[in-house]
Amino acid sequence: MRPRPGRALGLVERATRAREIALVVGRIYLGLRAQRWVEDVLGPPDMERRWLRQHEANARDLYRAATGLGGLILKASQFLGARADLLPPPYVERLGRLQDRVPPRPFAVMRRVVEHSFGRDLHRVFSTFDETPLAAASLAQVHAAVLQDGRAVAVKIQYPEMAALVRSDLANLRVLFGAIDWLERDFDLAPLLDELADTVPAELDFVHEAHNSERIARELAHRKDIVVPAVHWDHTTRRVLVMERIDGIPINDRGALLAAGVDPNAVAQTLAECFAEQMLVNGHFHADPHPGNLMVLPPGGGHGTRLALLDFGLTKELPDRFRETALAFGTALLQGQPVQMTDALVALGFETRGSGDETLAAIAEALRDAMAVLGRSGGSDPEALDAIRRSVSERLRANPLVRVPHHLVLVARAIGLLAGVNASLGVEIDLLATLAPYALGIRGGGA
């Protein structure tokens, strides 16, 4: 049950919510166990179709739970929708729809959050405040407003019960996942829960998000084609974030870009360079570059076309020597050397529960074979790229003893979101040629 807006989460609501979460997780788990028994004992010839039907049913259950319960369950389901390394395609396809399916909360509820955070009436801070939100997400929604001094701002407001909801849901999931891990030795759900426990509470601290924003702004300050909105610290708290309002064109609106005289290929190139620099030079990147967080500012006012990055609730610090290790992996991949690729995967942080690296070696060989296919396609064929993604995802799902490090999960997720943006722009860029100068350390940092 989704909690009623504006109220603390009561005992009855917590208990009801825990029951609903347990029922969903239980149905999914028992369904998977039943299909495994059918496969192992009966071995019917239509087993592939049975598994597909089970996964589709499970994905529908998760989708209904996410939209009905909201909170951490919605956030977790959105996260799972980008985990092709963990889940079969039916989950990724259905849960991927959740990004844009969050209903906004009533303005009266959100107004109380703002006024409680500021300790004064809304209109003593803002001369105008749009009651209809610009966007609604799993943890907060954003409204347009104008400060008393006339500056246009975007106001991000956290849903009132969200902190309590996240704590309650995390506790419920730890109990349920712990029971499944005990029953099923091949399941290892703890890393997934650890990722959620690490990222979601941090996203609830808007002061932390404001510092993330300013750090990214400093690191990209030398780029005149990138814009990061300024933080209004006088009006920012843990639950309300006030930033400069950026009015631009959504990056995936190809028609509007063309009408404004913007070249989609140039936008895609800027986007790729921006994230290559963040990941390979700065070691710190915006980890949630979905289309709603990327705007394009057409030429004007003495500026050329610029790309605006929005919403810094999720950024990631990469480990020391990430660029060098990634370069070693990329070199081994290009040269078709699975042994060196395996060594690089270990250095990047991949783990297995056993003592051997046979599973990682198998994944390295799959990547080598997929790279050969990509080479024959000329390096930019979307179907070849999708084939590589499917091949690696299938190998990872077939070998659940592999743990993918959290930072690489976010890197892969960001790259997947960027690929989706490029697809919506209808462009193809030479990704290897774009990445190479940053990987080799000859671009970025003011170069």
Helices (H) and strands (E) in the chain, counts: 16, 13
CB-based contacts of 53, cutoff 8 Å, min separation 6: none
Nearest to 294 by CA among 276, 269, 318, 267: 267
230: CATH: 3.30.200.20
Catalytic residue status for 253: no
Q: Which residues span the domain enclosing 16?
A: 11-100+162-188
Same domain, 180 and 114: no
Q: Quick one: which H or E segment has residue 171?
A: helix 162-183
Q: Has residue 399 been placed in a domain?
A: yes
Same domain, 64 and 184: yes
386 close to 360: Cβ distance less than 8 angstroms: no
CA atoms within 13 A on the CB side of 345: 24
Instruction: Give tens-digit pLDDT for 139-170.
Output: 899 999 999 999 999 999 999 888 888 888 88
105 close to 141: Cβ distance less than 8 angstroms: yes
What is the CA 98 to chain-centroid distance, rounded?
12
Structure tokens, 194: 């650890």
Q: Which amino acid type is present at position 2?
A: R
Q: Has residue 87 been placed in a domain?
A: yes
Residue count of the chain: 447
For the chain of 447 residues, list the mean pLDDT of each consecutive stretch of 10.
Answer: 49 79 87 88 90 91 86 79 70 78 87 95 96 90 96 96 83 75 59 75 92 97 96 96 95 93 94 93 91 91 93 90 86 81 84 66 73 56 60 62 73 79 81 81 64
Q: Which residues pair with 300 in a beta bridge?
A: 303
Same domain, 27 and 123: no
Structure tokens, 156: 């991000």
Q: What integer pLDDT is reported at residue 447 of this predicted model?
A: 47
Q: Has residue 339 been placed in a domain?
A: yes
Same domain, 28 and 142: no
Report the distance separating Cα 213 and Cα 209, nearest Å. Answer: 6
Nearest to 438 by CA among 201, 260, 279: 279
Q: Has residue 195 been placed in a domain?
A: no
Structure tokens, 271: 């986007």
Active-site residue identified among 288, 311, 343, 357? 288
Which of these three, 215, 245, 275, is where a domain ends? 245
C-alpha distance from residue 364 to each of 121, 317, 358, 378 (Å) = 59, 25, 10, 21
Backbone angles phi, psi at 151, to 5 degrees: -80, 130
Same domain, 235 and 354: no
Same domain, 77 and 148: no
Same domain, 64 and 144: no
Number of Cβ within 10 Å of residue 309's Cβ equals 23
Q: Has residue 90 been placed in a domain?
A: yes
Q: Has residue 346 been placed in a domain?
A: yes
Structure tokens, 337: 């050397």
Same domain, 68 and 147: no
235 close to 245: Cβ distance less than 8 angstroms: no
Same domain, 327 and 394: yes
Q: What integer pLDDT is reported at residue 315 of this predicted model?
A: 92
| Angle, helix 162-183 to helix 190-203, in steps of 10 degrees | 170
Same domain, 167 and 142: no
245 close to 152: Cβ distance less than 8 angstroms: yes
Structure tokens, 279: 């990941």
Same domain, 359 and 406: yes
Structure tokens, 397: 């799902």
State the total domains in the chain. Answer: 3
- Show the CA angle centred on residue 8, arms to residues 5 and 9, nearest 5°: 95
Report the distance separating Cα 423 and Cα 84, nearest Å. Answer: 18
Q: Has residue 408 been placed in a domain?
A: yes
Same domain, 110 and 228: yes
Q: Has residue 227 been placed in a domain?
A: yes
